[in-house]
Structures are given as structure tokens and as C-alpha cells.
């Protein structure tokens, strides 16, 4: 074996064993083996995560930060443990920079209402890009509407790459925040967030990075990126739904007033007024999804156990395997062909509606997503109502990609 082959990701990690960690992958759908190609929508969960949630309710269930009894301490330990693990996973300076949220949507809304709204006035702007998910568009629109500010949009190329010069040009003094997706959930494009952060910093404009699709697939270091806010969602990174986090620079969190009020986020309360806890607790009112965070902690351990470099390399292998085989299907067009791309493949077939295609693929046991992917403006840019999207994860196999491509070819013939 050559040195390069010996060092390849396929030999470093036993991917067949990794795949066995996911019980759901053994099931059949419509009498066919499940081929799950919808990880960008939500990832499947390894046994370790399922067991952690199960163990939480069987052995540790109690409310967090409210009880001195043993179970309360254990539950609090699991919840706060997830914060520690997220801090390490994201390369944060300190655990207090991590606000635990229900996901990215909650994180962007928190920044919109707590950070941006008090700073925004008529005539100001928020800069986003054409390829944003609605979670990185609508919260800004809501606060713009309240203040008379406006949204500015940095354009992309036909291949789905951000036009960086235009983004930089748009960083004018009226821009009070820029929001950019790290990895597009439709195109797979990996944006040069480090370079964008540098430009934003030069101009004193805070940058929020939507890391929903990056955190499950790439090694991350928010300090190296140099952004101001970074959002992740647990259910796409092998963790339970209803979990996620906002990472923010500590001084920014300290400058932000509470967004939700209620229990656990206060220092004192009287009918004359309340004072608030320090961040991050200031932003974590009410009873959280403790079992979910116990699971997210296990998910982070699991991903780090495999190694994010290995995951990124394996998914690149799978992408490079899938793309030429998909292109060989007559009439198939891939939307999003940036060279720096994650394993997310949006596609269309001439004359076939993407919903019909996805429905027929489902009959073959293949799960892909069809729709606008919560990216209406991007669909408008490409002039299509919807796309089909196959999104791969490290547990997928070349054989599954073959089965998927064969199923597309069969469905295409059927619909001809
Ligand atoms: N941003 C991107 C790029 C996404 O793909 C998604 C989920 O599809 C979100 C934001 C929303 O995340 P959440 O499910 O945590 O609200």
C-alpha cells in the first residue's frame, strides 16, 4: 500500500463499524433498505446519543439549577456539561460565551432582539447574502421593520459562490450587523468566513455566522474564524432536536439585555423591577431541554471521538464519488457547484417536478428532501420553485450512492 493510501481516511477510521452505531440505518422503508440522504435536514442519531437521553429520564431526571438533591445535581451536571463540550468543540475562550438555545433559529432571534434592536435606527442596514436560510433573514427583517432599517443582500455567482468583493463593497457604515451562512444548506458552498470576518472587523461591523450546516461536518474554531456570533443546532450534529447554541464574544453578551424573561435568568425580582443574572444564564429563562442537552453532550463526544477532520475528509470522498455518477444521469442538473463545497447536492431533472422525484425515490427506500429548503430568495435567484437535495453524512456508503443513482435513473425513465 502506498503511504498516501495508508494515510487515507478510509484506512484511518473503520467506517463500517461507525455505521453500525446508527440503529435506524438497519430499517427498511417500503420493503427496501433505507438510504438516508437527508442529513442536512436532520441527522440520524448514534446509539450513544439515544442511550444518553434514555439514561437521563431513567436515572437522572430532575430540573436544573434548582435542587440541592442528588438528581438535581446530576441533571445540572449534564446540562452544564453540554456547555463545556460545546465550548471546546467550537474553540470558545470560555464556557460563559455559550448560550444554550433550542437551535439556530432561537440563536439568531436572540441576537436580533437583544443585540441588534437596541442599536438599530432608521436608515441603518443589516447585510446578508443571497444564499441564507430564512433563520438568517427573517429575524433581521422583523427588527428592521420595527426601526425603519433595511436589509442589504450580497450577491452570489451562478455556481453558488459568494461574490466576496461585492460583500466587502456592501460593508458601508450604515451596516450594523452582517449575517453569513458558513455552509449553505442548499448549495453546500463553504463560505470564506475567516476572510469575511477580517473585513467586517476592519470596519467595526459585527459578523454573525450561521454554522448550522458547518458544525456537523467541519472542524471549527470560532477564535480562528474571528467572527462575533456563531450559531449551531444540535439536531443536525447527531444530537436531539430542540438543542443548540449561540457562541458570542463575552463583551457582546455582557452588553446585551435579556430577550426572554422568567425563572433562572434573574438575580433579584420585586414588583418594582428585576435585576438579571450574568450571561449566559441571563438568556436561558425557564426550564431547558435538559434531556436533549444530555444527548447533545454525548453527540459532541461521539463526533470528536471520530474526529472532525476525519468526518470532513470522508464526506469529501463521498461527495467526489456521488457527483460524477449523478451527472451521468441524462437531464440531471446540479445546483451549487462551488469548488469548496460540503456534501450537500441540490439537483433537478429536466421535465420532472422535484416533489414527484422525491416521492418516487422514497418508494425505492431513498430519503431525499424536496422543497425550497427554507431559502426562498435562493430559489428565486435560480428561478426554480424547489429542488431535490441529497445530503450525505460520514455513515453513508458508496453502495448507497450507487443505489440512489440507480433509483434516480429508474424514476426518470418512469416519468419520461
Ligand atoms: N440555518 C441553516 C443553514 C439551516 O440549514 C437550518 C436548518 O435547516 C437552520 C438555520 C435552522 O436551524 P434550526 O433547525 O435549529 O432552527
Picking from 201, 27, 229, the residue whose alpha carbon sits closest to that of residue 109 is: 229
Q: Is 242 close to ligand 1, i.e. is its CB under 6 Å away?
A: no
pLDDT at 7 (0 to 100): 61
Class (C level, CATH) for 3-42+308-415 = alpha beta
- The Cα–Cα gap between 246 and 118 comes to 19
- The Cα–Cα gap between 307 and 390 comes to 23
pLDDT at 412 (0 to 100): 83
Give 233 Cα–ligand 1 centroid separation in angstroms.
Answer: 7
pLDDT at 6 (0 to 100): 55
C-alpha cell at 187: 448549495
- The Cα–Cα gap between 184 and 134 comes to 12
- State how far Cα 65 lies from the chain centre: 28
Q: Is 185 close to ligand 1, i.e. is its CB under 6 Å away?
A: yes
Pocket test for ligand 1, best of 135, 211, 237, 344 (most atoms within 8 A of CB): 135
pLDDT at 264 (0 to 100): 85
What backbone torsions phi and psi does residue 245 show, to the nearest 5 degrees?
-155, 150
Q: Is 243 close to ligand 1, i.e. is its CB under 6 Å away?
A: no
Matching residue, cell 438568517: 136
Give 103 Cα–ligand 1 centroid separation in angstroms.
Answer: 8
Residue 181 alpha carbon, nearest atom of ligand 1: 3
Q: Give the sign of the dihedral formed by CA 362, CA 368, CA 371, CA 374.
A: positive
CB 395 within 8 A of CB 15: yes
Q: Is 104 close to ligand 1, i.e. is its CB under 6 Å away?
A: yes
Region of residue 204 (left: phi > 0; alpha: psi -120 to 50; beta: else): left
How far is residue 234 from each of residues 24, 40, 95, 251, 309, measured CA to CA in Å? 18, 12, 17, 25, 19
Residue 184 alpha carbon, nearest atom of ligand 1: 3
The number of CA neighbours under 13 Å toward the Cβ of 190 is 15
- The Cα–Cα gap between 412 and 306 comes to 37
DSSP state letters, 312-350: HHHHHHHHHHHHHHHHTSTTEEEE---SSB-SEEEEEET
As its CATH architecture, domain 50-304 has 3-Layer(aba) Sandwich (3.40)
The domain locations on the chain are 3-42+308-415, 50-304
Residues of the chain with pLDDT under 50: 1
Residue 234 alpha carbon, nearest atom of ligand 1: 15
Picking from 265, 193, 181, 171, the residue whose alpha carbon sits closest to that of residue 231 is: 181
Give 394 Cα–ligand 1 centroid separation in angstroms.
Answer: 20
Q: Is 354 close to ligand 1, i.e. is its CB under 6 Å away?
A: no
DSSP 162: B
- State how far Cα 125 lies from the chain centre: 25
Matching residue, cell 456508503: 397
pLDDT at 5 (0 to 100): 54
pLDDT at 4 (0 to 100): 53
Q: Is 212 close to ligand 1, i.e. is its CB under 6 Å away?
A: yes
- State how far Cα 141 lies from the chain centre: 21
Pocket test for ligand 1, best of 103, 132, 134 (most atoms within 8 A of CB): 103
DSSP bridge partners of 82: none
Preceding peptide of 280 cis, ω within 30°: yes
Q: Is 181 close to ligand 1, i.e. is its CB under 6 Å away?
A: yes
Give 42 Cα–ligand 1 centroid separation in angstroms.
Answer: 9
Q: Mind telling me the catalytic residues?
A: 374
Amino acid at each position: 500500500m502506498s503511504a498516501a493510501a495508508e494515510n487515507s481516511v478510509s484506512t484511518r477510521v473503520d467506517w463500517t463499524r461507525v455505521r453500525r452505531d446508527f440503529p435506524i440505518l438497519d430499517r427498511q422503508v417500503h420493503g427496501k433498505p433505507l438510504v438516508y440522504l437527508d442529513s442536512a435536514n436532520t441527522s440520524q442519531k448514534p446509539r450513544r446519543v439515544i442511550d444518553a437521553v434514555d439514561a437521563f429520564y431513567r436515572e437522572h431526571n430532575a430540573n436544573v439549577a434548582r435542587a440541592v438533591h442528588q438528581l438535581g445535581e446530576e441533571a445540572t451536571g449534564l446540562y452544564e456539561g453540554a456547555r463545556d463540550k460545546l465550548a471546546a468543540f467550537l474553540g470558545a475562550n470560555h464556557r460563559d460565551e455559550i448560550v444554550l438555545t433550542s437551535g439556530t433559529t432561537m440563536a439568531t432571534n436572540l441576537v436580533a432582539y437583544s443585540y441588534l434592536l437596541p442599536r438599530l435606527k432608521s436608515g441603518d442596514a443589516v447585510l446578508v447574502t443571497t444564499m441564507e436560510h430564512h433563520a438568517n433573514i427573517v429575524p433581521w427583517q422583523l427588527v428592521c421593520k420595527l426601526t425603519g432599517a433595511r436589509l442589504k443582500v450580497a450577491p452570489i455567482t451562478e455556481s453558488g459562490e459568494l461574490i466576496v468583493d461585492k460583500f466587502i463593497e456592501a460593508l458601508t457604515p450604515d451596516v450594523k450587523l452582517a449575517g453569513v451562512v458558513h455552509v449553505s444548506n442548499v448549495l453546500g458552498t463553504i463560505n470564506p468566513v475567516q476572510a469575511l470576518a477580517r473585513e467586517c472587523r476592519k470596519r467595526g461591523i459585527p459578523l454573525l455566522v450561521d454554522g448550522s450546516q458547518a458544525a456537523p461536518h467541519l472542524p471549527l474554531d470560532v477564535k480562528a474564524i474571528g467572527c462575533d456570533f456563531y450559531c449551531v443546532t444540535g439536531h443536525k450534529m447527531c444530537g436531539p432536536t430542540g438543542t443548540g447554541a449561540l457562541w458570542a464574544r463575552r463583551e457582546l453578551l455582557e452588553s446585551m439585555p435579556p430577550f426572554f424573561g422568567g425563572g433562572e435568568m434573574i438575580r433579584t425580582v420585586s414588583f418594582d423591577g428585576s435585576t438579571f443574572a450574568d450571561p449566559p444564564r441571563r438568556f436561558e429563562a425557564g426550564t431547558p431541554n435538559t434531556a436533549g442537552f444530555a444527548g447533545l453532550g454525548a453527540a459532541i463526544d461521539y463526533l470528536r471521538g471520530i474526529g472532525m477532520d476525519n468526518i470532513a475528509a470522508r464526506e469529501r470522498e463521498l461527495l467526489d464519488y456521488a457527483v460524477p455518477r449523478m451527472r451521468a444521469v441524462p437531464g440531471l442538473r446540479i445546483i451549487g457547484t462551488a469548488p469548496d463545497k460540503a456534501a450537500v447536492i441540490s439537483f433537478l431533472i429536466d421535465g420532472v417536478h422535484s416533489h414527484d422525484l422525491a416521492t418516487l425515490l422514497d418508494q425505492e427506500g431513498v430519503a431525499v428532501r424536496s422543497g425550497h429548503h427554507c431559502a426562498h430568495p435562493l430559489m428565486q435567484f435560480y428561478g426554480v420553485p424547489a429542488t431535490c437535495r441529497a445530503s450525505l453524512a460520514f455513515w453513508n456508503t458508496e453502495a448507497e450512492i450507487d443505489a440512489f443513482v440507480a433509483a434516480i435513473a429508474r424514476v426518470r425513465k418512469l416519468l419520461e
